[in-house]
Amino acid sequence: EADIYQTPRYLVIGTGKKITLECSQTMGHDKMYWYQQDPGMELHLIHYSYGVNSTEKGDLSSESTVSRIRTEHFPLTLESARPSHTSQYLCASSSGGLAEAFFGQGTRLTVV
Q: Please identify which residue in 35, 64, 72, 74 interacts with other proteins, judged by CB under 8 A.
A: 35
The reply to whether 45 sits near other proteins by the rule CB under 8 A is yes
The reply to whether 104 sits near other proteins by the rule CB under 8 A is yes
Q: Footprint of other proteins on residues 8-27 (CB under 8 A)?
A: none
Q: Please identify which residue in 29, 102, 109, 111 interacts with other proteins, judged by CB under 8 A.
A: 102
**Which are the contacts of 104, defined by CB distance < 8 A and separation ≥ 6?**
2, 4, 5, 6, 23, 90, 91, 92
Backbone angles phi, psi at 85, to 5 degrees: -85, -5
CA dihedral 29, 11, 106, 71 (to 10 degrees): 0
List residues binding other proteins (CB under 8 A).
2, 6, 31, 33, 35, 39-43, 45, 48, 56, 58-59, 88, 90, 92, 94, 96-98, 100-106, 108
